[in-house]
Structure 1
Amino acid sequence: MKHVIAFDVSMGKSYMVIYSALKKCIFEGEINHSRPDFISLKHRIEELTESYGEQPYIVFESTGVYSRQLERFMNENGFTFCPLNPLEAKLQCDSLRIHKTDKSDAHKLALTHFSTNRLNRKGTEELFLQLKSLSRFYSELDDELSVIRNRMHKVIQQTFPELEKIFTTKSDLFLNIVQLFPHPDLVLLHSKTVIKNKIRKCTEKNISPARAEKKALQLLEAARISYPAVSSSDVLCEQLKSYARRYQELLSSKERCIDDMVRLAQNRIEYHILLSFPGIGPNTAVRLIAEIGDIRRFDNNRQLNAFAGIDIRRYQSGKTFYKDKINKRGNKHLRKLLYIIVQNMIRHRRLGIITLSNTTIN
Structure 2
Amino acid sequence: MDLLKTVFGIDVSSRKSNVCIMVNGKKVNDYAISNDMVGFNRLIGDLKQVTKPQIIFEATGVYSRRLQAFLDMHELRYVMMNPLEAKRKTKDDLHQNKTDNRIYEQASHDLISNKNRLHKAVQLTFPEIEHLMVNPRGKNYWSIALRFPHPDIVLETKEADIIDFLKGLSGIGKKRANDITQSLIRLAKVACPAVKKNSAHVRGLKMAINNILSAEEECQTALQEMAKLAPKRDLEILTSIPGIGENTALRIISELGDIRRFNNPSQLNAFVGVDPQVYESGNLTAHLSISKRGTAIGRKVLYLAINQIQSAKKAGNPCHIADYYEKRKRSSETASHKKAAIASIHKLLRTIFALIKNDQLYSYDVAKHNQRLLS
TM-score by length of 1: 0.64
SS of residue matched to 1:277: coil
Residue range with higher mean Cα deviation, 247-256 or 331-340: 247-256
Deviations 1:271-301 (A, max 9, x none): 2222322222222222222222333333332
The aligned counterpart of 2:188 is 223
Q: Is 2:269 the partner of 1:263?
A: no
SS at 1:314's partner residue? strand
Residue 127 of structure 2: SS of its match in structure 1? coil
> Kindly, what percent of the aligned residue pairs are identical?
31
How far apart, in 2, do the equivalents of 1:242 and 1:201 lie?
24
Q: Distance in 2 between matches of 1:121 and 1:67?
A: 12
Indicate whether 1:132 and 2:109 are aligned: no
- Counterpart pick for 2:253 among 289, 292, 297: 289
Encode CA deviations 1:196-237: one digit per residue, 9 max, x unaligned.
836852642357847963x55554444334332211122432
Change (3 A) 1:300 1:59: farther
Give the 3-state SS of the residue equivalent to 1:324 in structure 2: strand
Note if contact 1:309-1:328 (Cα within 8 Å) is conserved in structure 2: yes
Verify: 1:150 aligned to 2:116, yes or no: yes
- Determine the C-alpha separation between the residues in 2 that align with 1:188 and 1:119: 62
Is the CA contact (8 Å cut-off) linking 1:159 and 1:229 kept in structure 2? yes
RMSD of the TM alignment (CA)? 4.4
Kindly provide the CA deviation profile for residues 161-183 of structure 1, in whole angstroms up to 9, marking residues without a partner as x.
22234433322232122122211
Q: 1:261 to 1:171 in 2, by over 3 A?
A: same
* 1:249 shift after superposition: 3.3
Specify the alignment match of 1:94 in structure 2: none
The residue type paired with residue 65 of structure 2 is R
Map Cα deviations across residues 69-114 of structure 1 (whole Å, 9 max, x no partner): 455689976555443xxxxxxxxxxxxxxxxxxxxxxxxxxxxxxx
- Count of residue correspondences: 300
**Residue matched to 1:62:** 60
* Counterpart for residue 217 of structure 2: 252
Task: Render the CA deviation track for 1:46-76: whole Å, top value 9, x for unaligned.
Answer: 99x9xxxxx9xx785733x113245568997
SS in 2 for 1:315: strand
Which range moved further: 344-353 or 28-37?
A: 28-37
Moved more, 132-141 or 121-130: 121-130
1:313 maps to which residue?
277
Shift of 1:142: 1.6
User: Structure 2 vs 1, CA of residues 190 and 300 (structure 1 numbering), >3 Å: closer, same or farther?
Assistant: same
* CA offsets 1:3-28 (integer angstroms, 9 cap, x no match): xx99874323246899xxxxxxxx99
Structure 1 residue 353, shift from structure 2 partner? 5.9
2:154 is aligned with 1:187: yes
The residue correspondences of 1:33-182 to structure 2 (distance < 5 A) are 33=35, 34-37=40-43, 60=58, 62-63=60-61, 65-69=62-66, 80-83=79-82, 124-125=89-90, 127-167=93-133, 168-182=135-149
1:324-335 matched pairs, under 5 angstroms: 324-335=288-299
Measured after TM superposition, the shift of residue 343 of structure 1 is 1.6
Taking a change above 3 Å as real, the CA distance of residues 9 and 209 of structure 1, as seen in their structure-2 partners, is: same
Q: Partner of 1:274 in structure 2?
A: 238
Structure 1 residue 340, shift from structure 2 partner: 1.7
Per-residue deviation, 1:307: 1.8
Find the aligned partners of 1:246 and 1:288 in 2 and give their Cα distance: 26
Q: Distance in 1 between matches of 2:81 and 2:263?
A: 17
Deviation by residue 1:95-149 (Cα, 9 ceiling, x = unmatched): xxxxxxxxxxxxxxxxxxxxxxx98956623632442332222223222222322
Q: How does 1:339-358 map to 2 (within 5 A)?
A: 339-352=303-316
* In structure 2, C-alpha distance between the alignment counterparts of 1:61 and 1:260, rounded to whole Å: 23
- 2:167 touches 2:174 (CA, 8 Å); kept in 1? no
Matched with 2:205 is 240
Letter paired with 2:291: N
TM-score (norm 2): 0.62
Letter in 2 for 1:259: Q
| In structure 2, C-alpha distance between the alignment counterparts of 1:17 and 1:311, rounded to whole Å | 42
Q: Name the CA shift for 1:220/1:121 in 2 (closer, same or farther; >3 Å).
A: closer
Q: Secondary structure at the match of 1:188?
A: helix
DSSP 3-state at the match of 2:316: helix
- In structure 2, the gaps of 5 or more residues are 1-7, 22-28, 319-375
Whole-angstrom distance in 2 between the partners of 1:272 and 1:353: 17
CA distance in 2, matches of 1:349, 1:6: 56
| Structure 1 residues not aligned, in runs of 5+ | 19-26, 50-54, 84-117, 355-362
> Which stretch shifts more, 229-238 or 324-333?
229-238
Secondary structure of the structure 2 residue equivalent to 1:337: helix
AA of the residue aligned to 1:282: E
Give the distance between the partners of 1:119 and 1:134, measured in 2 at CA: 18
Counterparts of 1:278 and 1:72, CA distance in 2? 39
Instruction: Return the letter of the residue paired with 2:267.
Output: Q
Q: Distance in 2 between matches of 1:72 and 1:301?
A: 34
Q: Secondary structure at the match of 1:325?
A: strand
Shift in Å, 1:245: 3.3
Q: How many angstroms apart in 2 are the aligned matches of 1:289 and 1:140?
A: 18
Given that 1:74 and 1:81 are in contact with CA atoms closer than 8 Å, whether structure 2 keeps it comes out as: no
